[in-house]
Amino acid sequence: MLGRFSLPIFGYVAFALVLILFGVCTTLDGNSVLKLGEGANNRTRIIIPAGANAMMGSYGMMMDATAMCVMGFGFLYAFCRKYTWGGIAFNYLICGMCFLWCHVCTCIIHAIFNGEFVKTEINLAAMISADLVTAAVLITFGVIYGFVSPCQLIVICLLEPLAMKFNEHIVVHYLNTSDAGGSILTHAFGAFFGLGLTLGLGVKPKHIPEENRLTNYVSDTFSLVGTIVLWMFWPSFNGSLLFDDASVQHRVVVNTYLAICASCVTAMVTSHLVHGGKINMLEVQNATLAGGVSIGMSCSYNVEPWVPVLIGGLAGALSSVGYGHISGCMENLGAMDSAGATQLHGIPGIFGALAAGIVVLATTNNQYFAADTVWTEMDDNTNGKQFGMIIASILATVAIAVATGILNGLLIRVPICEKVERKMYINEAPYFELPDDEDTTIKVSSA
C-alpha cells in the first residue's frame, strides 16, 4: 500500500516510539555513576559503588550471549541460497530493535503486574535479559524465515517481547518455576510463537516455490559457521544471568558444556542412521545444538555429571529424528517452519523441561528448582508440587506463545503492512541490490 516507502515509514515511526519510551521507561544503573565523598584530611575523593566491580565480572558472558544473537543466529540463517543476505541482515535488524525495546517491555510488564511505575535500570544484567528475549524473537524468525517483509518484522519485534515478558512473569512469579537457560521461556516460546504466526499469516508449504528452498555449498557452509558460534558460547548464554552466585554459575557452565557435547555426538550418529548411511548437513547445523536447549531448565541443578550427558544425548537424537521425519509430517499437515526451529528449539525445549521435572521428582534437598531457591525449607512445597508447577509452566508457555503468535500474524496482515508475495517467499531480491554474478549452483535441502 505504501510501496517503496513502507520500510522507512515503519522503521522511523518504530524508532521514534522506542526512543520516546526509552526516555520515559529507563534510567542508568546507580553502580554506573561515580560519587564524591570526604576522605582523609577532608579532601574530596571518588567513591566507586560496591556493585560496580561485581557487575563488570559478567561482561564476558554478556558479550558471548550477544555474539550468539548477532553472529550465531545470523550465520545460521544464511542457509538458503536466495535468502543468504536476508537471513543475516534481517537477523541484524531484529537484534538492533529488540536489544533496545526489551528494556521498555520490562518496565511495562512490571507496571501491569505490580501496579507501580518503576524505570528499568540499564546495566549488564538488563542487557543480558534483553539478549535472552531477543533470542526468542530470532528463533521465531527461523520459523517465518522468508515469509515476512521487513515492515512486518518490525511489528513482530515490538509485540513478541511484550508477550514473552508477560509469559515469563506468569511462569516465574505465579508458577514459581526456574528456567535459567530458557528451555521454555526462550526456546519453546520463540518456536511456538513462530508457529502461531504462520497460522495467523496463513502460510502453507504449498505456497513456497521449490526453487526458493534450495541451498548450495557456500550457503550451507556459512550456516555451519553460525552453528560453531552458537555451540561455543552456549554455556555463557545459559549462565550469564547468574553472575551473583559463582558456584551456581560454574555448575551451569559445566552442565551445559556436557549436554551440548553429548548432543553433538548423538545428533551426527542419528543423522547417519536416519539418512541411510549419510550425515545430513541440515542436522549438523541444528540438531548438534539441541543439548544446549534441553539442559536450559536443569542446568543450575546440583546433579551428577551423567545427568546432563543423558539429557543432551537424548535431545540430540530426538532433534535429528525430528528433522528427518517430523518436519515432513508437519508440512503434510500444512504447518510451515523454514529453518526447522521447532525441531531445534520447540521440541528440545519441551523435552528439557520434562527432563527437569523428572530430576525434581528424583532429587531431594536441591536448589534452583524454583524461582524461590529456598523452597525446600518451606512446609507447603514438595517435589511433586514443583513437578506440577513445571508441567503447568510448559502448558502455559505453549498456550500463550501460540495464541499471541496467531494474533500477531493476523495483525500484520492488515493492508498498511507491506506483505511478501507468495512467488517471492524466501527470496531476498525485493529488498537488496544483488550482484550480477550470483552463484546458481544448487542442491536440494532436506528441510
The predicted-structure confidence for 73-92, as pLDDT tens digits, reads as follows 999 999 888 898 999 999 99
- Mean per-residue pLDDT of the chain: 86
Residue 195 has pLDDT above 90, yes or no: yes
Residue 348 has pLDDT above 70, yes or no: yes
At residue 192 the predicted structure's pLDDT band, cuts being 50, 70 and 90, is: very high
Residue 446 has pLDDT above 60, yes or no: no
pLDDT confidence of residue 3: 61
Q: Tell the residue number behind the cell numbers 576522605, with chain if given.
A: 39
pLDDT confidence of residue 20: 96
Within 68-176, where are the H helices?
A: 73-76, 84-114, 124-143, 150-169
CA distance 294 to 186: 11
At residue 375 the predicted structure's pLDDT band, cuts being 50, 70 and 90, is: very low
pLDDT confidence of residue 442: 38
Residue 311 has pLDDT above 90, yes or no: yes
The helix (H) or strand (E) run that includes residue 27 is strand 26-28
pLDDT confidence of residue 303: 87
At residue 366 the predicted structure's pLDDT band, cuts being 50, 70 and 90, is: low
At residue 362 the predicted structure's pLDDT band, cuts being 50, 70 and 90, is: confident
Candidate from 16-25, 52-61, 417-426 with smallest mean pLDDT = 52-61
Average pLDDT estimate for 51-73: 81
The helix (H) or strand (E) run that includes residue 20 is helix 6-25
Residue 178 has pLDDT above 80, yes or no: yes
Q: How far is CA 210 from the centre of its chain?
A: 28
Q: What is the pLDDT of residues 34-58, one digit of tens each?
A: 566 555 555 555 555 555 555 666 7
Beta bridge partner(s), residue 46: 36
Average pLDDT estimate for 329-340: 84
Question: Which candidate, 207, 274, 100, places its Cα nearest to that of 421?
Answer: 207
pLDDT confidence of residue 54: 59
Q: Roughly what angle, to the nearest 10 degrees, separates helices 189-201 and 124-143? A: 40
Residue 329 has pLDDT above 90, yes or no: no
pLDDT confidence of residue 215: 84
Q: Please name each of the domains of the chain with its CATH number.
A: 3-28+59-423 (1.10.3430.10)
Half-sphere exposure of 404 (CA within 13 A, CB side): 26
CA distance 341 to 197: 13
Question: Which candidate, 266, 277, 233, places its Cα nearest to that of 61?
Answer: 233
CA distance 179 to 201: 30
Dihedral sign, CA of 260, 170, 19, 155?
Answer: positive
CA distance 87 to 226: 11
Residue 372 has pLDDT above 60, yes or no: no
At residue 392 the predicted structure's pLDDT band, cuts being 50, 70 and 90, is: very high
pLDDT confidence of residue 204: 86
State what percent of residues in the chain have pLDDT above 70: 86
SS3 37: strand
Which residues, at least 6 apart from 14, have a Cβ–Cβ distance to it below 8 Å? 97, 154, 157, 158
Residue 379 has pLDDT above 80, yes or no: no
pLDDT confidence of residue 56: 64
End-to-end CA distance of the chain: 33
Other beta carbons within 10 angstroms of residue 203's beta carbon come to 25
Give the DSSP letter of residue 115.
S
- Across 215-284, the runs of DSSP E, i.e. the strands, are none
pLDDT confidence of residue 377: 46
Residue 298 has pLDDT above 80, yes or no: yes
Beta bridge partner(s), residue 37: 45
CA distance 336 to 202: 10
Q: Tell the residue number behind the cell numbers 559445566, with chain if given.
A: 254
Within 275-382, where are the H helices?
A: 281-286, 290-294, 306-321, 327-332, 341, 347-362
pLDDT confidence of residue 10: 86
Average pLDDT estimate for 122-149: 92
pLDDT confidence of residue 200: 92
